Amino acid sequence: MLKTQPWVKLSGIRTCTVLVILLLLSGCNVTKTVPDNDALFTGYSVSVNDEKDSSNRKAALETELTATVRPKPNASILGWRPKLGIYNAFYTEKEKGLKHFIMTKLGEPPVLLSEVDTGSISGVMSSRLHNRGYFNNHISSEVKSENKKASINWTAWVGEPYRLRNIKYMLDDSLQAQQAIEQTKAESLLKPGDPYDLSVMTQERVRIDANLKNKGYYYFSPDLMIYSVDTTVGNRQADVLLRIKRAASAQALKPYTLDDIYIFANYSLGDSLSTSDTLDFKGYHYIPNEDYVRARHLLDGVFLEKDSIYTRENHLLTIKRLSGLSAYKFVNIDYATDTVNTDKLDAFIYLTPSLKKSLRAEAQMVSKSNNFTGPGLTVSFRNRNTFRGSELLNVEFTGSFETLVGGTGTGTAPEGVEDNSSGNLTSYELGVQATLAIPRIVSPFNLRNLRTEFVPQTRIGLGFDFLSRVNFYQLNSYNASYGYSWRPKQTLTFDATPINLQYVRLSNTSEVFDTLLKENPYLQRSFESQFIIGSIYQLTYSTQMFEERTSQVFDKVTLDLSGNLVSAFQSLAGAHTPTEDDPRTLFGDPYAQYVLLDNDFRHYLNFGKESQLVARLATGVGYSYGNSTTLPYVKQFSIGGPNSIRAFRARSVGPGTYDVPDELAFSFFDQVGDIRLEANLEYRFPIFGFFKGAAFVDAGNIWLLRDTFDENGIVDKPGAKFEFNNALSELAVGTGLGLRIDVDFFVIRLDVGVPVRVPYLPKGERFVLNDFNGSFSGENSMVLNIAIGYPF
C-alpha cells in the first residue's frame, strides 16, 4: 500500500479550472492591443540554399543568420504567449495603479510587424555571409500575414565560398618579433584550402598576440597587424598577406624582462606610491611592512620574478592566485618601463584588503530531505586574516526548531507518541562549527609550490552538534578533521581529508524508541554510540563553469574509509578478534569499520539560454566489516524526498521490496540501506520572468548487502537484500511537474510528484499510474515537495 499522509486537498475540478483560466489568459485574443493596419509578429524562419556549396556549413550559417533577426517575437510556450496574455488582460492607458504595474512588470507588449526592418536585417545577413567567404550572396524575405498575425521567412542563396590559397607573413627581418612569429606558423589557424572566414582571421591575430605576450612583448597588440586579401587570383581563391603596420612603435616590437617588483600589501585608493618605506624580501620590495600579511605567505601566489621574461601567463596566474586570498578583495598589477634600463619593466602589485572581521546573523526556514521543516538561526563570525597569512577562520553557531510537515506514513503511532498528523513530531538542534582555511599546503613534508591559478588550502575543522528528536532520542555528535583541497586545473578538484574524526553518542532514549531498537537489532547497531575514525577522499570533475557549452558534465566520486588504522594498531598490540557481540572498543565505545564508495554523475544539455535537459545517476555502496556489522546510521543511504524520488516522501522507499509494517510506519527511522541506485531526468524550461518550469522522471531504490535477522532467527526485512537480477524491477519510479521561482540569488522550488511504480507492492501490482486519484491524499496520490534550490 502506498503510504501517504493527508496534507493538502485540491480537487480535480479546481485544478482543471485553474489550468483553463491560465490557458485563456495566455492564449486568447493575442491581437487585442495590435493597432489597425499592423500585425503581431508571431515568428520567422531562416533557410540557406546551399546546393552549389561544398563546405557543409548550412546548419551553422542558419544559426548565425537567425541570431540577426531583431526584434524577437513575444515569448511563447507551445503556442501560448503568457506575458503577452497578461499584457492584454491588464491593458490600461493609465500610467499608474495595480493594472499598470501588472501590465508593465509581468506582461509584455505585442511585438509588431512594423518594428521589423526586413531590409536592414537582410543587409546584416548578407554582410555576415560575406565575412564567411560568400562574396556573391543573395537574401530575400517573404511576409505572410493573416488575421493581424504575421511571420517572415528569409532565404539566403549562396554559392561556393572563396577559399584560402596562400598565407604569407610579411615582416621586417630586422625585427625581433620576426623570429617569434615565424616559430608559431605551424600553429596558425589559417590553412590553405579552408573557406575564407573573417572570424578565423581575427582569431589568428589574437593567437599571435597571445604568443608574443608570453615572450616578453608587453606593448604588442592585435591591432598592430593588418591583413591584405587578394581575391583576383581566380577560381574563387584568395591570397592572404598578414603584416605589421608601419605605424607600430619600436617599443611594441621588442621583448622585455622584469626588473624591480613592488608589492603594496595594504593598498587603498588614494594612497601615495612612495617606495621609501620598503621591506626587501627575497628580491621583492614589500610595502610598507608585514603588519597585515607576512611576505613569506604572500609570495606563494606571486609568479613574477626579477630578471625573468615578462609573460602574460605569469601575470594572469599571479592575479588569480592573489585574488583567491581571503585577506584581499581587489588585486591589480601595473607595469612601467624602467627609468634606467629601457629594455626592462618594473612591476607594481596593488593589494586592497578585505574587511578583516565580520559578524553575521541569518534567520532562515530550514527544510530537510526528511520532511522536517521550521525556523532556524545562524550566527557566524569570520576573520579573513587570522594569523597574518590570509587564513580564514569561520565560527558558526546554529540553532533550529523543526516539525514534520506532511508526515511520512499512515501507520498508527505507538502509545505515548503523538501521531504525525497532529504536527507534533518535532525536533530541535543546536551546534557550533569552527573551520580554519589556510591558503597553502601545511604538511610535515617540504612540498613545492603548486603552479595553479587556484589557491591550495589546508582545512582544519572542529565542531559539536546536539539533536533532540522529541519523544524519541537525543544525539550528541563531535567532529574534528584535517584535510587538503587543491585544483590542478579549472575542471578538476581534489579533496583529501586524511584525518576525519567523529563521535556519535545516543542518549535519553524513550521507551518507545528503546522498544524499536530491541525489536530491530540492525537499527540498534546503526544507532549505537561509536567512533568514526578514518579518511575521506573526493575527486570532482565539472565543466559547468563553461556556460557557453551545449553539453556540461559534473561528476563527484567519494571514498570514505573508517577504522582500518585503529584496527591495524590493535591487531599488532594483540587485541582480541572482534565479534558482533564483542567488538573492539576505544575509550569504552566501539568504533566503526567500513569502506564506502559514492558517485554522483550529472549531465546538462542546454537548449538556448534557459531550457535545459538534466540527467543524473547517483550510485553508492558501503560495506562494513571487521569491527562493525552495519554502517553507522549517519553513513547509510536513504531515498525519496524533494532531492531524490519526488513522488515518494523522504525515507519512505526501500530497502528493496521491504514493506514497513503499519505499526512502524509512523517514523521510517530504519528505511536505510548499504546500496543506492538512483536516476533522474528533468527538463527545465522558462515560463516568463523569474518563473521557470520543469518536467521530471525519477527512479531508484536502496538495498542491504546482507540479510538481517531478529532474535528468533527470522529475516528482519524480507526483500531488503540486493539481488542483481531483480534490481531493475525493484526500482521505485515517479514523475511530475515543477514550478521554480528563480530570482538569481535564491530559488524557491515546488515539485508535484506522481507515483508510477511502487516497489513494496506485490509483483503484478507495482504499476499504480492507472490508479492515480488526482489529489494529495489517500493511496496513489500526489506528493508536494517545497524546497530551496534546484534538486541537482
Residues 140 and 40 placed together within one structural domain of the fold: yes
Residues 303 and 220 placed together within one structural domain of the fold: no
For residues 595-612, average pLDDT: 92
Q: At residue 664, does pLDDT exceed 70?
A: no
Is residue 215 within 8 A of residue 180, CB to CB? The reply is yes
Q: What is the 3-state secondary structure (H, E, C) of 274-316?
A: CCCCCEEECCEEEECCCCCCCHHHHHHHCCCCCCCECCHHHHH
Q: Looking at residue 26, what DSSP letter applies?
A: H
* pLDDT of 2: 38
Contacts of 248 (CB under 8 A, 6+ apart): 224
Q: At residue 317, does pLDDT exceed 90?
A: yes
172 against 615, higher pLDDT: 615
* pLDDT of 18: 45
CA distance 792 to 785: 14
pLDDT tens digits along 339-354: 899 999 999 999 999 9
* pLDDT of 27: 42
CA distance 104 to 125: 33
What percent of the chain stands above pLDDT 90? 55
| CA atoms within 13 A of residue 722's CA, in its CB half-sphere | 18
* pLDDT of 404: 57
* pLDDT of 248: 87
Q: Looking at residue 729, what DSSP letter applies?
A: G
Q: At residue 76, does pLDDT exceed 90?
A: no
CA distance 672 to 365: 26
Residues 21 and 118 placed together within one structural domain of the fold: yes
What cell numbers appear for 444 in the block?
Answer: 610535515
What cell numbers appear for 696 in the block?
Answer: 521530471
703 against 425, higher pLDDT: 703
In our burial notation (b when 16+ CB lie closer than 10 A, e otherwise), range 585-598 reads eeeeebbbbbbbeb
CATH (domain of 112): 3.10.20.310
* pLDDT of 131: 95
Query: Is 515 inside any structural domain?
Result: no
Helix (H, G, I), strand (E, B) or coil at 765: coil
Residues 26 and 152 placed together within one structural domain of the fold: yes
pLDDT tens digits along 126-162: 999 999 999 999 999 999 999 899 999 999 999 999 9
What percent of the chain stands above pLDDT 70? 89
Contacts of 582-590 with C-beta under 8 Å, sequence gap 24+, read 583/627, 583/628, 584/627, 586/531, 586/533, 587/531, 589/503, 589/505, 589/529, 589/530, 589/531, 590/528, 590/530, 590/531, 590/627, 590/628
The residue type of 317 is L
* pLDDT of 375: 76
Residues 109 and 121 placed together within one structural domain of the fold: yes
Of 269-273, 425-429, 619-623, which range is least confident?
A: 269-273
184 against 618, higher pLDDT: 618
CA distance 175 to 177: 5
* pLDDT of 414: 47
* pLDDT of 28: 57
Residues 137 and 53 placed together within one structural domain of the fold: yes
For residues 93-111, average pLDDT: 88
* pLDDT of 270: 65
Residues 19 and 145 placed together within one structural domain of the fold: yes
Q: At residue 787, does pLDDT exceed 90?
A: no
Query: Is 600 inside any structural domain?
Result: no
* pLDDT of 3: 40
Residues 245 and 287 placed together within one structural domain of the fold: no
- Range of the structural domain that residue 231 is part of: 163-253
24 against 147, higher pLDDT: 147
* pLDDT of 22: 47
Number of domains in the chain: 3
Residues 237 and 283 placed together within one structural domain of the fold: no
Look at residues 107, 122, 157 and tell me which one is the last residue of a structural domain. Answer: 157
Q: At residue 739, does pLDDT exceed 50?
A: yes
Q: At residue 174, does pLDDT exceed 70?
A: no
Is residue 554 within 8 A of residue 563, CB to CB? The reply is no
Query: Is 262 inside any structural domain?
Result: yes
Q: Is the peptide bond before 71 cis (omega within 30 degrees of 0)?
A: yes
Q: At residue 64, does pLDDT exceed 90?
A: yes
Q: What is the mean pLDDT of the chain?
A: 86
CA distance 603 to 543: 10
Which element (helix H / strand E) includes 231?
none
Q: At residue 326, does pLDDT exceed 90?
A: yes
Query: Is 330 inside any structural domain?
Result: yes
pLDDT-derived band at 667, boundaries 50, 70, 90: low
CA distance 158 to 135: 9
Look at residues 197, 218, 253 and tell me which one is the last residue of a structural domain. Answer: 253
Strands 344-353 and 328-337: antiparallel
CA distance 580 to 625: 10
Q: What is the 3-state secondary structure (H, E, C) of 496-515?
A: EEEEEEEEEEEECCCHHHHH
CA distance 324 to 315: 15
* pLDDT of 205: 94
Q: Is the peptide bond before 498 cis (omega within 30 degrees of 0)?
A: no
Look at residues 218, 253, 288 and tell me which one is the last residue of a structural domain. Answer: 253
Residues 199 and 328 placed together within one structural domain of the fold: no
Query: Is 58 inside any structural domain?
Result: yes
For residues 43-66, average pLDDT: 93
Query: Is 86 inside any structural domain?
Result: yes
Residues 261 and 245 placed together within one structural domain of the fold: no
* pLDDT of 119: 94
Contacts of 88-95 with C-beta under 8 Å, sequence gap 24+, read 88/29, 88/30, 88/32, 88/33, 89/25, 91/32, 91/33
Query: Is 751 inside any structural domain?
Result: no
Q: Which of 653, 664, 670, 644 is nearest to 760 (CA)?
A: 653
For residues 364-387, average pLDDT: 73
For residues 613-622, average pLDDT: 97
pLDDT-derived band at 365, boundaries 50, 70, 90: low
Query: Is 339 inside any structural domain?
Result: yes
CA distance 611 to 550: 11
Contacts of 375-379 with C-beta under 8 Å, sequence gap 24+, read 375/400, 375/401, 376/400, 376/401
Sheet containing 149-157, strands listed edge to edge, beginning at the edge strand earlier in sequence: 40-49, 149-157, 138-146
* pLDDT of 123: 96
Residues 263 and 167 placed together within one structural domain of the fold: no
517 against 443, higher pLDDT: 443
